[in-house]
Amino acid sequence: MPGCDAPLVGGHTGAPGETACNGCHAGTLNSGTGTFTFDLGTSTYAAGQTYTGTVRISQAAMLKFGFSGLALKDSNNSTIGAFNLIETVRTRTYTDGPRKYVSHTPCGADSASANSWIFTWTAPPTNVGNVTLYIGMLAANHSHSTAGDFSYTSSKLLTYQAMSGISEEKINFSLAVYPNPVTENLYINFTSVNKVEKFEITIYDISGRKIYYSQTDDDKLNVDIFDWCKGIYYVNVKQGTSLMNKKIVLP
């Protein structure tokens, strides 16, 4: 959609070394009557796991809303993990200097009195200590000036917690999940030297709800997804103490 990729503005999440949206817009930070939430569904992270973030903001009489998000390693305030998109028209990722952001697009800003966005964040592959996600938000009156706008910030501290009983370092099998995107049948193929323990296959939707579970000692599985809702799903495959995850899309 034309115009959905500009402008790109970093440095306004309220993170260390940054202003919030009031770095450009008028008003005192967090002084408005708006309500806002930032939810990641967890206060801990496990290596390599993916979490869904939701940003919500509402304020009466406002006509445009926006946000900008950033994940930093607390020990040195460097960018950590990876943001990925669910709403590919309404949200975007980009880099500004050494930092990597997720934010709304201009096409995802228009909404009277309230707006919300979702995205995913994938944790780093190893324990890096505490991580903080910072979110800057804006409620604007669309007056074509910066006056009368309101800026807000929120943050989420994540501590490391290893997945109980699961090895995140050594994977004893290979995994192929296809086709992706998928429309009718999802094929899951396994290759493992471990012929004793069964594979456990769990599929979650974007909200974290378990919608499929199976065990098999075969080397392949066919899952009929014809009547599933469109969206993002996560395939979790476990054998013994080894775990692998794959993201699939139903367009």
Q: Looking at the 3D structure of the chain, how many domains does it have? A: 2
**Three-class SS of 184-221:** CEEEEEEEECCCCCCEEEEEEECCCCEEEEEEECCCEE
Give the pLDDT confidence score for residue 219 in this predicted structure.
Answer: 85
Please indicate, yes or no, whether residues 81 and 156 belong to a single structural domain of this protein.
yes
Give the pLDDT confidence score for residue 1 in this predicted structure.
Answer: 46
Which among 114, 132, 160 is the end of a domain?
160
Please indicate, yes or no, whether residues 154 and 31 belong to a single structural domain of this protein.
yes
Give the pLDDT confidence score for residue 170 in this predicted structure.
Answer: 53
Q: Which two tokens stand for residue 112?
A: 């009277």
Give the pLDDT confidence score for residue 207 in this predicted structure.
Answer: 60
Which residues of the chain fall short of a pLDDT of 70?
A: 1-9, 163-171, 207-208
* CATH number of the domain to which 199 belongs: 2.60.40.3080
Please indicate, yes or no, whether residues 137 and 28 belong to a single structural domain of this protein.
yes
Please indicate, yes or no, whether residues 202 and 237 belong to a single structural domain of this protein.
yes
Please indicate, yes or no, whether residues 149 and 47 belong to a single structural domain of this protein.
yes
